[in-house]
Structures are given as structure tokens and as C-alpha cells.
Amino acid sequence: MSKEFGIIALIVIISATLVGGTVDIFRKRVAGTWGAAPASHDVVKNYQEAVEVISDEYAGDVDYEKATQAAIQGMLSTLDPHSIFFPPAEFRKLEEDKDSHLTGIGVTILRHRDGVYVQSAVQGTPAARAGLRYGDRIIEVDGKDARDWSSEQVSKNVRGERGESVTIKIERAGVPGPLTFTIVRESVPLPSIRNAYMIRPGTGYIGLTGGFQQTTGDELREAMTKLKAQGMRQVVLDLRGNPGGLLNQAIEVASEFLQRGQPIVSIRGRVEHKEPYIYRSTGTEPEDFPLVVLINHNSASASEIVAGAFQDLGRALIVGQTSFGKGLVQGIFELDYGAGLTLTTARYYTPYGRSLQRDYSSGSLYDYYVKRDEEDEETPPAHTTHAPAQKAIDPALSTPTPTPVPTPTPAGPPVTTAAGRVFYGGGGITPDIEVKPLQVTPLRARIAEAAFFFTRQLAAGQIQGLESYRIEKTDYDHNLRSTDYPITDKVVQAFRDFVQRDGNLGITSAQIDEELDFVKLRIRDEMVTAAYASDAGARVLLDSDPQIIRAIDALPEAKRLADSTRNNASQG
């Protein structure tokens, strides 16, 4: 279990944090010169001579493009973990992510024990119109056998050029033979905010978990307007698993809650540019709601900028776990022939001068991204709906949460912030209130897997006596109620019988009794996802999320902190 999560985390976290926190997407043609310094000429000469020797003497064929890409990446890897080379195809994906869209069919997928399955189709996308639905097992993509593929492999093959078609063959529960769909790819929205709803009377929840992209600020304002119309008087802003993104969007998000002119973040670049550049709030009528911000180990870069500004200025309480610790600024440079690279050009600092960057001096990507995650285990954040499987939306968008670690020894000098609180730099944002998420165990992982396979049959009307749970199509516009799809004793008994028949699940009746609440939670999550799509299913888990519950409890304290800070500022 831990090894599987480690591999998934390495793949997804690296891809997310490499580009999180760019000052903005900008393009520069890199000139074909290495400068005038003699040392640079020596480097070029040595490289050219090495290429000539390889060309003349190597016994096999040489892929010069691959060799050159490796050379560039090797050079960048000596700098820091976030300076990265992108071949043309990967660079195009980088641009798609920045634009809050991708080109594909719009389907959420998960890898389970025997293949990749559809979790839900995104509303209004080609996949939804074609009729793909919860529980469809993807067995072929464009004639290629996909039964042993990972989620990432399926995503890579499903994505393609806009207007081109992809043919997908699936197995559907209750249908005797395979079904084939030919779907034309379109631009699919890639929102930053995946969920925004009233989690309690008067309390809004905004899940800003999808990165900081071109539309993030607009999405936040739209969500706030909607929730205020429903009576929101306080809000929980969820940044868990958010890998970062565009700095200007982080400024817009922070400006929604900070007074105009308040500092948000400073950037310090090359040594010849000694004066830091300070980004300040542009808010004209900022919201004064009590605010709690949720973070975890996968909250990085732009997420840390927002959380750090709120914490330094006393605007919000931070709840959860210490954030990733990415305080390096990347510029994105386009090279000739469509390739590109991200290059660290500066560092971020919070309003009171804390560095966000975690130490990377070991030089090991494994140590930097994964090693700290192997000491314990936990569930993904509530918006990542399925713990034991890899989730993707053309391709993987959710980020499996690394495991918790002990509070790190402060790496930077102490900084006294608003209201006299002391924090340390050099290791991400330490929460005001540390709360671990629901613990995952091997048993709970097996239960979650079993709940999926059981619900696949239940939603297809294949469980005798529970035909009323059959779902014909996804109702995207349904307003979820607590009474929707209750997990009754009859459903639990059916689950017991299902698990007993399937010997591969490794769950006993006694273990179901031991984890009965968790069993009911996972089955209802799956049923609501099948009926109303992934965002609705995520709400089921959010309502039982220990970090969310603690965040709601902390809202009165967040109000007192903000009021105290505001009063001290006015007196000063």
C-alpha cells in the first residue's frame, strides 16, 4: 500500500510542483549563444567534442534529440528541483494547464485492481454526451489493449488534438458484451475550484484545489457571490493538494480578503537586483468574513503564498498540515522547435520575510519529494475521492496526499508576525492548528476498493432486492441532500454478501463490523458519485472530514484573530 502511494505521489507531485508558482507564463526565445566568458566557451567546446566522439565511435545508433534533451535536463538538475526541461508535447500540456483547459473528452478515471475505470464524465463534455458513465471499465483505446494500463497511460492516449476522434471500448456492468464509443476531442474546462457549497448553515466551503490558473480569481469571485446569496457569513478555503500556479492569480485570491495595499509576497531575484519586489493587495472591497484556510503537504507555491500572507497578517487561521515548502519562482521559457523549460529566477518571501523554500541540498529528488512520506499513512484530502486508486481527468488532476511527518525543526530565523505570533521560515507554512486527516489502513484501503466494485453492481441494478438503487444516467444539477442514497442495513448486508462471494477482496464480516461507519461512508460516496458525479461524491467525504470539522470549529477563533489584528493596526 505504502509503495503504491509512494510511486503515485512521486509521479503526480513532481509534475504538479515543477510548474507551480510561476511569476506568470511568459515566453522568451533563448539565443543560440553561451555568452562571452572563456569558461562558457570551454563548456561548449567540450560538449561539441563529446558529441563528435559519440558520433564517430559509438557502436550503435544515436538518438541525438533524446541525448540533447537529457543533456539539458542534466544541466538543469544541478541547479534545483524545479528547473526542468519540457519536450514539445509536454510543453504544450503545460500551456493547456495554464489556460484552465485541456484537449480531451472530459472523463474522470481511476485505476483499480484489474484495470482503469470511469469514475464520472464531466458535465457538458464529449464523454458525458457520448454516454460514458460510472463503473465503465476501459479495455481498449484506439484498438490498443488498455486492460493493464495505468491511469496516466489511458489519459495520455485519450488526449489529443482538438477535433480528432478517439475510439474507446468499455465493459459495463449488466451489459453482456463490450460497448464501443467514438468521441471527438474538445477543449475541456480545467477549473481551479472543484466544489463550492454551504457545508453548514451560514458556513461556506470553497475547494480551491485545482491550481492557480488564468481563471482562478474569477472563479473565486463567482463562488463567493453564489454562497453569499445563500447566506454565507463565514468561509473555509481549502487549498489542500493545490500545487500552485500563476502568481498573479494568487495575488487576486489574497486580495479578495486583504485590505488594499497590504503586502502579500515579495520576490528577490539575482544578486544584482538587491531590492525585492513587493506584491500588494489590489482589493477595493475585500471580504471581512471569518476565514479558515486548509493546507496539507501537497499545498505548494502559490497556495503557500496565499496561506502565508493570511497567517502573517492575522487575516485567517491555518488548519491542517505543514505545506510542501516551494518558495522558488520559475519563469517559463520557450525554446526553438516547441520545447521549453522552467528556470528558477527568484525566491518568494511572506509579508514578514519568511522564506517558503524547503531545503533541497541533498540533491536527491527522491528525498525532496518522497522520502518524508514513507513514515506513516493517511487518506487523501476529502476532495480526492478515492484513496486506493489513481484519479485522473485527462490526465491525473488529483494529487495523492503524502503521509504526515513530525513538525520539522525550524530551518529559518524566527519571525514575529501580526498579533505577536512567532513563525519560522525555510520549511513551508506551519499550520496554526495541526490536524491529521482520516487515517488510512490496509483494511480501509480494501474496504474502499470493495465499495467501488459493490457500487458498480448496485448502480447497474445487479444487486437482488436493491433494484431501486439502479442509476440510469447522471443528474449533474441535483442539489445533494443528506437523505440521498441512505446506506441502510439492507445495503450493508448486501455488501457483506458481495464481499464474501469475492474472495479477492480480503475482507471478513468481523472487519466490516469493526469499520462499519467507514463502510457506510465509502458506499454512500460511491453511490452519490455514480448518481450525481464526482463533485457531489466529494461532498459526502467532506462532511465527515476531520480537518474540515476542525476548521469549522476554528472559525470563531479566526474571527477573534482578525478582529484583534485589525484593532492593533488601527491603533498603530
> Would 105-189 and 193-431 be classified into the same CATH topology?
no
Question: What is the predicted pLDDT for the residue at 90?
Answer: 83
- DSSP class per residue in 90-106: HHHHHHHHHTTEEEE--
Q: Domain extents for the chain?
A: 105-189, 193-431, 442-544
Question: What is the predicted pLDDT for the residue at 215?
Answer: 93
- What whole-number distance in Å separates Cα of residue 571 and Cα of residue 166? 64
301 among known catalytic residues: yes
165 among known catalytic residues: no
Question: What is the predicted pLDDT for the residue at 101?
Answer: 64
312 among known catalytic residues: yes
Which is the catalytic residue, given 312, 373, 394, 525? Answer: 312
Question: What is the predicted pLDDT for the residue at 189?
Answer: 83
546-550 contact pairs (CB < 8 A, 24+): 546/435, 546/436, 546/437, 546/438, 547/240, 547/294, 547/296, 547/319, 547/320, 547/381, 547/382, 547/435, 547/436, 547/437, 548/199, 548/205, 548/236, 548/238, 548/294, 548/382, 550/319, 550/433, 550/435
Using alpha carbons only, give the angle 430, 232, 210 rounded to the nearest 5 degrees.
50
Which is the catalytic residue, given 151, 255, 266, 301? Answer: 301
Q: What is the CATH number of domain 193-431?
A: 3.90.226.10
Average confidence (pLDDT) per 10 residues, the chain, 572 residues: 30 38 45 48 83 90 87 86 85 68 88 95 95 97 96 92 95 96 92 94 96 94 98 98 92 97 90 77 93 96 96 96 89 85 89 87 63 46 34 30 39 77 84 93 96 97 95 93 94 96 90 97 97 95 95 96 79 56
Which is the catalytic residue, given 169, 326, 391, 520? Answer: 326
Nearest to 75 by CA among 106, 44, 54: 44
Class of domain 105-189: mainly beta
Q: Considering the entire predicted model, what is its pTM?
A: 0.82
